[in-house]
């Protein structure tokens, strides 16, 4: 019998506390749609759906003709499914982890290390940095999605220093004036970067009693202004109060004055390379990343934090929020596909948007293993490498080996929306 090279997956759910609750979660909705017998608990958080072969969330193969239970086991026995370039470049491993995230409470102020730093941290502190790989990642909004990414233009930070005296008190006159001078002088990117690093590090390393006192004063002042009907936008008050309600007394609340607030519409993305400070705040997204679990955290989290490492490793480049929206490119060969192709070799994501007028569609072959997720729509899928028809619908996840195509007969009048993770070397 011919080898099965296209098959459905049952994927692992992570019920982290920050996830959206019950069927408010896109993760839960996808699970419920994909498995009518699955039970969604109304008061339980559904934070992440892991689609891949990571040891902490290895997908289960739903094909009784395949003896290997998990995707990781199958790839280990059939490394040719990855494609020759991917197999050789990534030593027989699937190089990416594909996810859906449903964020209700802010994730930590964090950044991901370079490969070199990841290897060093793993060797020194394996209990906190569990593998030696880097972790570039991309988030693509499924619903309106809110996050922080990269340092704000320095002019915006200086304006907050003038309007938020509690922040100024943490940073101090010397560092604040250094940042102000870097704006007034002729553009000097290195000088701005040094001043920005000094200010951010000074804030993040403040003594706990000092920053908690200042934060409490700030929250009290903004709360009184809200009660008096005053405008609190110059203090970024709405976000400050929201984060403080989630993480009272946390230094990460002050990071909103340094980091860009990025609001993504469905289909828009942001790419988070090595050393880029960021935090997810609210919403549902597709996420794809190098297959790694390395994160350096410094606030808005009950997990292990490493302020010294974070402040040392960050990329202190100031840029507007608009520059953090990562573009997709429509394919010249297929107008239904839009490619998000980040500047790393580990992964790319393809958005497949099939209009209602189209009743047949072919998912093209690529020289890489890929994982396909159906967001909405229904179709009957056929492939010579699947050996039988498969019904795809909302929540279906399909593994497609390298150089295999899949034909779809659409049964939905609303078209289809799918996302496909692969490695376009």
* Catalytic center residues: 297
Write the burial class of residue 314 (CB in 10 Å: 0-12 exposed, 13-18 middle, 19+ buried): buried
Q: Is 3 left (phi over 0), alpha (psi -120 to 50) or beta?
A: beta
Three-class SS state of 245? helix
- Written as one string, the DSSP assignment of 136-176 is -EEEEESS-EEEEEEEPPHHHHHHHHHH-HHHHHHH-HHHH
Q: How many CA atoms lie within 13 A of 169 on its CB side?
A: 12
CA distance 286 to 371: 12
Using alpha carbons, select from 66, 60, 70, 78 the residue that is nearest to residue 1: 66
Could you give the C-alpha distances from 45 to 17, 88, 98, 101, in angstroms and in order? 6, 39, 19, 11
Contacts of residue 278, defined as CB under 8 A and 6 or more positions apart, other chains included, come to 109, 110, 111, 147, 148, 149, 150, 259, 270, 272
**Residue 346 token pair:** 């580990």
Closest listed residue to residue 346, CA positions, set 274, 243, 298: 274
Separation CA 357–CA 414 (nearest Å):
9
Answer yes or no: are the C-beta atoms of 202 and 172 closer than 8 Å: yes
Q: Is 283 exposed, middle or buried (0-12, 13-18, 19+ CB in 10 A)?
A: buried
Give the CA count within 13 Å in the CB-facing half-sphere of 53. 22
């Amino acid at each position: 019998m011919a080898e099965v090279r296209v098959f459905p997956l049952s994927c692992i759910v992570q019920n982290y506390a920050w996830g959206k609750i019950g069927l408010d979660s896109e993760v839960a909705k996808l699970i419920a749609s994909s498995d009518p017998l699955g039970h969604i608990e109304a008061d339980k958080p559904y934070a992440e759906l892991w689609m891949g072969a990571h040891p902490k969330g290895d997908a289960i193969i739903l094909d009784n003709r395949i003896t290997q239970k998990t995707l990781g086991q199958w790839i280990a026995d059939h490394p040719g499914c990855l494609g020759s370039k991917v197999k050789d470049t990534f030593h027989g491993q699937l190089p990416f982890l594909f996810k859906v995230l449903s964020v209700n409470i802010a994730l930590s102020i964090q950044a991901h290390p370079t490969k070199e730093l990841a290897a060093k941290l793993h060797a020194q502190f394996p209990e906190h940095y569990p593998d030696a790989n880097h972790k570039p990642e991309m988030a693509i909004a499924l619903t309106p999605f809110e996050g922080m990414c990269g340092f704000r233009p320095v002019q915006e930070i200086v304006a907050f220093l003038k309007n938020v005296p509690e922040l100024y008190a943490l940073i101090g006159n010397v560092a604040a004036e250094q940042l102000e001078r870097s704006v007034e002088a002729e553009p000097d990117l290195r000088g701005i970067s040094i001043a920005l690093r000094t200010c951010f590090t000074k804030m993040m390393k403040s003594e706990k009693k000092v920053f908690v006192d200042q934060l409490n004063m700030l929250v009290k002042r903004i709360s009184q202004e809200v009660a008096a009907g005053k405008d609190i936008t110059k203090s970024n008050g709405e976000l400050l109060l929201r984060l403080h309600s989630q993480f009272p007394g946390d230094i990460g609340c002050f990071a909103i004055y340094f980091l860009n607030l990025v609001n993504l519409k469905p289909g828009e993305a942001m790419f988070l390379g090595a050393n880029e400070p960021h935090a997810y705040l609210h919403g549902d997204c597709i996420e794809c990343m190098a297959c790694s679990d390395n994160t350096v955290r410094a606030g808005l989290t009950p997990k292990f934090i490493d302020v010294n490492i974070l402040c040392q490793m960050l990329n202190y480049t100031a840029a507007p929020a608009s520059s953090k929206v990562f573009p997709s490119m429509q394919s010249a060969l297929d107008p239904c596909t839009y490619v998000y192709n980040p500047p790393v070799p580990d992964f790319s994501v393809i958005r497949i948007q099939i209009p209602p007028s189209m009743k047949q569609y072919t998912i093209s072959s690529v020289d890489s293993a890929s994982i396909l997720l159906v967001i909405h729509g229904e179709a009957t899928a056929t492939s010579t490498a699947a050996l039988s028809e498969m019904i795809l619908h909302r929540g279906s996840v399909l593994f497609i080996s390298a150089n295999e195509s899949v034909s779809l007969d659409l049964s939905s009048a609303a078209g289809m929306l799918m996302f496909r993770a692969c490695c376009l070397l």
